[in-house]
């Protein structure tokens, strides 16, 4: 063991450029006995992969047990030979991704030259696997209707998996990517690991899958909901995707899918017209041999184009107003007297404001003064991707594969004014090299190298161009080219002019690593040791605000447009410095585990993992933190702090235990317990001093009343780092987040149907959360006098003191494909509680004690039921109906039809009725709860809205009142259960065989087939005219057509 650890450590330093991996391979194991059930030792066992002829061999131990470890998923022929016995042949044994298949062999006395062929019984129960998961097979992947052909939708078929709405998803909020993440057992989005051929693709900042490979390129994948084995870490759930490989025969397909608003239904809130929509998706896959039985290739390419057109409406100043002539009475701020002819002389126009006028278009909707400007704008979503994979059977004891994946994505979300939209250039690359070496019949070694590249920009579409802030005459503006766009000018009662001041987010992450896994089989013990080493290089820029912004209230002249022309903002904000930073972090993990086959019916698993989550080091030592005891910023350079700033958490030992007990050959009870550690989101690195002086300082200037102290043309003063500033910081003594996870599960097979019932629970500690650490105590009087840290505004703080718990019941009925039918039913009943998600800004009282935060998690879905099915209609050649028709035309017409579908029913997510302003007068960044005087949820009201969605409130609004000013409301967090899901996706497929090995497939897929109005926008803002009413709905019925050519 010492020598192995030494080799692994040396290898890690020799290969610092590689990426950690977790295995997607599986094991075939069992016992070899004779007809009297006596053990047969030293029997020769060989598994031959049918599609490539690759063979793997071992010997049975003295007790007759055997194991063929680390095999690639696929179909195998299993052969067993022993002196004095007939040769045993199981012609088809299917190994799924990450699975352990038991094949017990009973040999018959006779000549070894005589073969006894035995069809291996379809094994649905897993008597030797302690993990709990769901394999999604190629049949489901290729047949089920998927909107946008996104494989993540298939992960939602698994019990225990829920979906977070895109509106509440950090992945969607910061990248624009939709439906690329799941949540499992009440944990957060970034707790799920997404592996592609064993290599991590998860975004280090927000989570979610970096890739959505074409469903035509996926062989199968496994959603491991309770990943108890110690070779898996940095999270509790694994989505393990295996891409197809080449075989000895040339195979592939070409496809084209189209969606168009012409056949889509109208959204519930669309009115009489539908927004134009066009979606096109195309691609191909191809795989085959380079050298028969030796070298194989596989590749695929896919393109996607989406255009959603909408008319954007807003209100902008009229040309008359921008000439200084207003219907309101205008006064001169210099003397308080009205301007002559109620018109501002052009000579009084501020120079900066005069330059901004060129960017303000003229109104084009005079019939509607409240919304006097509109334009047709198109939301764009394009991406292109490809994967190239090569497999090499070097010898009977050595195999290797390599893969390169690439995706480039472009998103553009327009705004009211042209050229001010949100541009999101995204991109990912992924490389893996794997070598599997069979050292002996009992020793197998796996070596992985790789690289994952993630690029996520979130900028104005004019970024990296001309410096508009400088060009219009502002001084001392941000120098980051990502911020080079027109600053925002917000005039009261008008739509903002310029970019959204929170837009600029830049991130480029390169994750390298190395992993080595050594498997050793001895008797009934299948042992494994290994190491994972990661090197993370992260560039991140998060300027806030991303460009200057100005608010004009009309308090100087009596009109907000006039204040703008005079260059008199009431609030001006910008930042000094440069928050762009380059981080480096090492993460180390080591593990040892043992699968012990105690008896033919009892399997025990023991594992121990040790993880060292290395801390980020910034290239230029920009990191620092706000010291609450001294009210000063401490930095690495000035205070001689460690370059990591935070101490490394060195006590992360993670024990794992599991068991699987076969009560009956068709009944298995399994359970387990595990401690799991997780990495702190890389998004929190921006709180490590790069948003603090002297690196960057947020500057907000409040103009004086009634006489202004500055104008636009005098902004901004030279950058000086003041003693009073807005701190953004992180608690540096935080521990690594960790989760206790446990489950108990029963499986029973009834013919070709598997029934599974299980309980899962977890408790998570030290979760990251953000909060304002300088909230005042509720009450009257000066806000400043009630703040705990006087002299400072909000102190945005990131700290690992959150927790959550989950208890859930999972039920599953699964029928593998046979007699034309595949079926999976999954039901989950669970409850997730926490004290706030990563983006929920929680409140603290003045003593620093967590207060009134415990409640349903934002991702809590109390009940969820999903049914998926693939059904080949029994018509045509070889089927029950018209199976003997001699006319080929008739047979081709009536045969090859298939109906597929996914039906989803789920309860809604929780919400909190809140005040839209700082009613408690505590300086809160986020809204505060109202007063609940009685029951809030009402099923009676919820049933009424089915036909009158906008007329009836969804909950008991009369029981939610504004709290008195200066007080906090009594409503508990997330006490309202929002609207749920009742969705049916249906698909119709017609397969037509052209020649042997060549087919054409036509598809028509109906998403939300019955066009149910599924609401998801619930107004919870107390005092709003729409309070308690539904304001938006999920997609109506959409229809997608597809054509495939298969060979």
User: Cα 952 to the chain's mean position, in Å?
Assistant: 35
- So what's the pLDDT on residue 845? 39
Q: Are 905 and 865 in contact (CB under 8 A)?
A: yes
**Residue 302 and residue 1007: Cα distance in Å, rounded?**
22
Q: Give per-residue pLDDT as tens, 520-533.
A: 989 889 999 999 99
Dmax over CA atoms of the chain, in Å, equals: 117
Whether 110 maps to a domain, the answer reads yes
Helices and strands, number each (H, E), in the chain? 12, 55
User: Cα 260 to the chain's mean position, in Å?
Assistant: 27
Q: Are 111 and 86 in contact (CB under 8 A)?
A: yes
Whether 930 maps to a domain, the answer reads no
**pLDDT of 838 above 70:** no
- So what's the pLDDT on residue 842? 47
Instruction: Tell me the Cα Rg of the chain.
Output: 32
- So what's the pLDDT on residue 756? 97
Quote the pTM value.
Answer: 0.88
Q: Give per-residue pLDDT as tens, 999-1021.
A: 999 999 999 999 998 888 888 88
Highest mean predicted confidence (pLDDT) among 288-292, 581-585, 875-879: 288-292
Partners of 750 in the beta sheet?
753
Dump the DSSP string for 373-425.
EEEEEEEEEEEEEEEEEEEEEEETTEEEEEEEEEEEEEEEE--SSTT--EEEE
Stretch 218-241: mean pLDDT: 86
Q: Are 126 and 216 in contact (CB under 8 A)?
A: no
- So what's the pLDDT on residue 986? 98
**pLDDT of 106 above 60:** yes
Q: Give rounded-to-5 percent helix, strand, coil for the chain.
A: 10, 45, 45
Q: Give per-residue pLDDT as tens, 695-711.
A: 777 777 878 888 898 99
Query: What confidence tier does 781 reach under pLDDT thresholds 50, 70, 90?
Result: confident
**Residue 539 and residue 508: Cα distance in Å, rounded?**
5
- So what's the pLDDT on residue 113? 74
Q: How would you list the strands of the sheet with 571-577, edge to edge?
A: 488-491, 549-552, 571-577, 696-702
- So what's the pLDDT on residue 122? 67
Looking from the CA of 102 toward its CB, the CA atoms found within 13 Å total: 21
Write the CB contacts of 964 (distance below 8 Å, at least 6 apart in sequence). Answer: none
Find the helix or strand (DSSP H, E) in which 722 lies. none
Number of structural domains (the chain) is 1
- So what's the pLDDT on residue 207? 80
- Among the ranges given (27-36, 180-189, 297-306), the one the predictor scored with the smallest mean pLDDT: 180-189
**pLDDT of 132 above 80:** yes
- So what's the pLDDT on residue 289? 97
Torsion angle of alpha carbons 20, 24, 25, 31, nearest 10°? Answer: 120
Whether 44 maps to a domain, the answer reads yes
Residue 684: phi and psi, rounded to 5, are -75, -10
**Residue 56 and residue 72: Cα distance in Å, rounded?**
11
| Cα 443 to Cα 66, 70, 74, 99, 524, distances in angstroms | 13, 10, 22, 19, 14
- So what's the pLDDT on residue 166? 66
Torsion angle of alpha carbons 32, 33, 39, 42, nearest 10°? Answer: -40
Q: Which tokens go with 240?
A: 């393990």
CATH number for the domain that contains residue 94: 2.60.40.1120
Q: Which tokens go with 403?
A: 């893969």
Whether 629 maps to a domain, the answer reads no
Range of the domain at 111: 2-117
Q: Give per-residue pLDDT as tens, 786-830.
A: 888 887 877 888 888 888 999 999 999 999 888 899 999 999 999
Dump the DSSP string for 453-518.
EEEEEEEETTTTS--HHHHTT--S----GGG-SPPEEEETTS--BS--TT--EEEEEEEEEEEEEE
- So what's the pLDDT on residue 10? 34
**pLDDT of 834 above 70:** yes
**Residue 653 and residue 675: Cα distance in Å, rounded?**
8
Q: Are 260 and 278 in contact (CB under 8 A)?
A: yes
- So what's the pLDDT on residue 292? 96
**pLDDT of 848 above 70:** no
Whether 35 maps to a domain, the answer reads yes
**3-class state of residue 712 by DSSP:** helix
Whether 78 maps to a domain, the answer reads yes
Q: Are 61 and 525 in contact (CB under 8 A)?
A: no
**Residue 999 and residue 12: Cα distance in Å, rounded?**
48
**pLDDT of 357 above 50:** yes
Whether 104 maps to a domain, the answer reads yes
Q: Which tokens go with 588?
A: 């180390």
**Residue 857 and residue 848: Cα distance in Å, rounded?**
22
Q: Are 210 and 452 in contact (CB under 8 A)?
A: yes
**Residue 49 and residue 71: Cα distance in Å, rounded?**
9
**pLDDT of 504 above 80:** no
- So what's the pLDDT on residue 533? 94
Stretch 646-656: mean pLDDT: 92
Stretch 83-109: mean pLDDT: 90
Write the CB contacts of 849 (distance below 8 Å, at least 6 apart in sequence). Answer: none
- So what's the pLDDT on residue 4? 36
CA-closest candidate to residue 698, choices 542, 577, 839:
577
Dump the DSSP string for 729-791.
EE-TTPPPPEEEEEEEEEEEEETTEEEEEEEEEEEEEEEEEEEETTPPPSSSS-HHHH-SSTT
Q: Give per-residue pLDDT as tens, 313-330.
A: 899 999 999 999 887 789
Q: Which tokens go with 965?
A: 């000013």
**3-class state of residue 943 by DSSP:** helix
**Residue 987 and residue 968: Cα distance in Å, rounded?**
51
Query: SS3 letters for 172-231?
Result: HHHHCCCCCCCEECCCCHHHEEEEECCEECECCCCCCECCCCCHHHEEEEEEEEECCCCC
Residue 5: phi and psi, rounded to 5, are -60, -40
**Residue 508 exposed, middle or buried by CB count within 10 Å (0-12, 13-18, 19+):** middle
**pLDDT of 81 above 60:** yes
Stretch 745-767: mean pLDDT: 94
**pLDDT of 849 above 50:** no
**Residue 437 and residue 490: Cα distance in Å, rounded?**
65
**3-class state of residue 936 by DSSP:** coil
Q: Give per-residue pLDDT as tens, 262-295.
A: 999 988 887 778 889 999 999 999 999 999 999 9
CA-closest candidate to residue 452, choices 364, 563, 379, 534:
534
Given the structure tokens 């698993």, which residue do they identify? 605
Give 878 or 86, the one with higher predicted confidence: 86
Looking from the CA of 262 toward its CB, the CA atoms found within 13 Å total: 6
- So what's the pLDDT on residue 322? 94
Query: What confidence tier does 983 reach under pLDDT thresholds 50, 70, 90?
Result: very high
Other CB atoms within 10 A of residue 583 CB: 21
Given the structure tokens 């195999």, which residue do they identify? 399
Query: What confidence tier does 8 reach under pLDDT thresholds 50, 70, 90?
Result: very low
Whether 101 maps to a domain, the answer reads yes
pLDDT over 90 percentage in the chain: 47
- So what's the pLDDT on residue 192? 87
- So what's the pLDDT on residue 17? 33
| Cα 880 to Cα 310, 752, 876, distances in angstroms | 50, 20, 8
CA-closest candidate to residue 503, choices 490, 486, 520, 515:
486
């Amino acid at each position: 063991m010492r020598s192995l650890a030494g080799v692994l450590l040396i290898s890690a330093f020799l290969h610092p450029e590689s990426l950690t991996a977790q295995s997607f391979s599986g094991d075939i194991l069992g016992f070899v006995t004779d007809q009297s059930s006596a053990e047969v030792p030293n029997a020769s066992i060989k598994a031959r992969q049918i599609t490539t002829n690759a063979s793997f061999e071992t010997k049975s131990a003295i007790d007759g047990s055997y194991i063929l470890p680390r095999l690639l998923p696929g179909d195998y022929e299993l052969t067993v030979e022993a002196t004095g016995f007939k040769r045993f042949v199981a012609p088809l044994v299917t190994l799924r991704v990450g699975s352990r298949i038991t094949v017990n062999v009973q040999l018959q006395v006779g000549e070894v030259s005589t073969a006894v062929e035995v069809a291996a019984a379809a094994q649905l129960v897993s008597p030797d696997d302690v993990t709990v998961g769901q394999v999604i097979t190629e049949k489901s992947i290729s047949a089920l209707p998927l909107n946008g052909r996104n494989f993540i939708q298939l992960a939602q078929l698994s019990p225990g998996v829920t979906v977070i709405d895109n509106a509440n998803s950090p992945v969607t909020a910061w990248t624009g990517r939709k439906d690329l993440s799941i949540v499992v057992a009440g944990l957060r989005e970034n707790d799920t690991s997404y592996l592609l051929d064993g290599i991590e693709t998860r975004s280090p900042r927000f989570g979610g899958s970096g890739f959505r490979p074409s469903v035509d390129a996926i062989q199968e994948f496994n959603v491991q909901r309770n990943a108890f084995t110690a070779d898996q870490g940095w999270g509790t759930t694994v989505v393990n995707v295996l891409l197809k490989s080449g075989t000895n025969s040339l195979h592939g397909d070409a496809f084209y899918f189209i969606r168009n608003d012409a056949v889509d239904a109208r959204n519930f809130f669309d009115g009489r017209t539908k927004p134009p929509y066009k979606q096109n998706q195309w691609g191909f896959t191809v795989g085959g041999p380079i050298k028969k039985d030796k070298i194989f290739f596989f590749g695929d390419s896919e393109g996607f184009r989406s255009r959603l057109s909408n008319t954007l409406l807003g209100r902008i100043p009229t040309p008359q107003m921008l000439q200084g002539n207003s219907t309101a009475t205008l006064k001169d701020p210099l003397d308080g007297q009205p301007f002559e002819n109620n018109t501002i002389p052009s000579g009084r126009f501020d120079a900066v404001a005069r330059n901004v006028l060129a960017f303000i278009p003229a109104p084009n909707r005079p019939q509607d003064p409240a919304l006097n400007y509109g334009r047709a704008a198109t939301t764009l979503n394009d991406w292109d991707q490809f994967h190239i994979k090569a497999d090499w059977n070097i010898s009977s004891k050595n195999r290797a594969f390599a893969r390169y994946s690439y995706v480039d994505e472009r998103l553009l979300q327009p705004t009211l004014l042209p050229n001010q939209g949100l541009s999101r250039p995204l991109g990912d690359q992924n490389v893996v090299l794997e070598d599997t070496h069979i050292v002996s019949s009992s020793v197998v070694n796996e070596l992985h190298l790789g690289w994952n590249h993630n690029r996520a920009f979130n900028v104005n579409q004019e970024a990296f161009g001309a410096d508009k802030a400088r060009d219009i005459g502002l001084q001392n503006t941000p120098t980051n080219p990502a911020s080079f766009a027109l600053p925002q000018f917000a005039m009261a009662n008008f739509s903002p002019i310029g970019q959204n001041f929170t837009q600029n987010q830049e991130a480029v992450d390169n994750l390298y690593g190395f992993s080595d896994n050594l498997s050793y089989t001895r008797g009934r013990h299948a042992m494994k040791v290994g190491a994972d080493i990661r090197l993370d290089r992260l560039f991140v820029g998060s300027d806030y605000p991303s460009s200057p912004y100005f608010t004009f209230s009309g308090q100087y002249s009596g009109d907000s447009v006039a204040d703008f022309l005079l260059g008199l903002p009431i609030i001006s904000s910008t930042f000094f410095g440069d928050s762009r930073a380059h981080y480096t972090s090492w993460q180390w993990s080591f593990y040892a585990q043992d699968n012990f086959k105690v008896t033919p019916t009892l399997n025990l698993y023991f594992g121990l993992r040790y993880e060292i989550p290395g801390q980020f080091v910034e290239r230029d030592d920009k990191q620092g933190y706000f010291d609450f005891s001294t009210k000063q910023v401490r930095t690495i350079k000035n205070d001689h702090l460690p370059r990591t700033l935070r101490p490394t958490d060195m006590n992360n030992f993670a024990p794992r235990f599991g068991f699987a007990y076969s009560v009956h050959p068709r009944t298995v009870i399994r359970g387990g317990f595990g401690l799991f550690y997780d990495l702190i989101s890389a998004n929190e690195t921006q709180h490590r001093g790069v948003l603090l002086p002297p690196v960057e300082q947020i500057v907000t200037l409040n103009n004086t009343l009634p006489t202004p102290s500055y104008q636009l043309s005098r902004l901004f003063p030279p950058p000086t780092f003041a003693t009073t500033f807005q701190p953004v910081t992180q608690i540096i003594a935080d521990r690594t987040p960790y989760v206790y996870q446990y489950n108990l599960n029963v499986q029973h097979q009834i013919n070709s149907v598997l029934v599974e019932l299980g309980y899962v629970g977890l408790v998570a500690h030290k979760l990251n959360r953000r909060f304002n650490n300088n909230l005042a105590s509720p009450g009257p009087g000066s806000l400043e006098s009630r703040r705990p840290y006087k002299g400072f505004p909000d102190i945005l703080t990131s700290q690992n003191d959150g927790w959550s718990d989950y208890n859930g019941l999972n039920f599953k009925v699964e029928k593998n494909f046979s007699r034309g039918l595949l079926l999976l039913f999954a039901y989950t009943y669970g409850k997730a509680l926490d004290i706030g998600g990563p983006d929920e800004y929680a409140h603290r009282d003045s003593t620093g004690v967590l207060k009134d935060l415990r409640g349903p998690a934002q991702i809590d879905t109390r009940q969820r039921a999903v049914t998926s099915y693939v059904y080949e209609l029994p018509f045509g050649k070889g089927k029950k109906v018209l199976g003997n028709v001699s006319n080929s035309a008739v047979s081709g017409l009536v045969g090859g039809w298939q109906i597929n579908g996914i039906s989803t029913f789920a309860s809604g997510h929780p919400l909190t009725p809140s005040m839209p302003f700082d009613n408690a007068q505590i300086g809160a960044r986020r809204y505060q709860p109202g007063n609940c005087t009685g029951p809030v949820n009402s099923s009676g009201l919820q049933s009424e809205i089915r036909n009158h969605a906008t007329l009836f409130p969804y909950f008991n609004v009369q029981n939610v009142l504004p709290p008195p000013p200066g007080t906090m409301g009594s409503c508990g967090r997330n006490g309202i259960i929002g609207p749920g899901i009742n969705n049916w996706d249906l698909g119709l497929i017609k397969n037509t065989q052209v020649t042997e090995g060549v087919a054409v497939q036509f598809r028509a897929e109906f998403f939300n087939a019955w066009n149910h109005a599924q609401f998801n926008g619930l107004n919870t803002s107390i005092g709003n005219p729409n309070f308690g009413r539904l304001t938006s709905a999920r997609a109506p019925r959409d229809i997608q057509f597809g054509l495939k050519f298969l060979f």
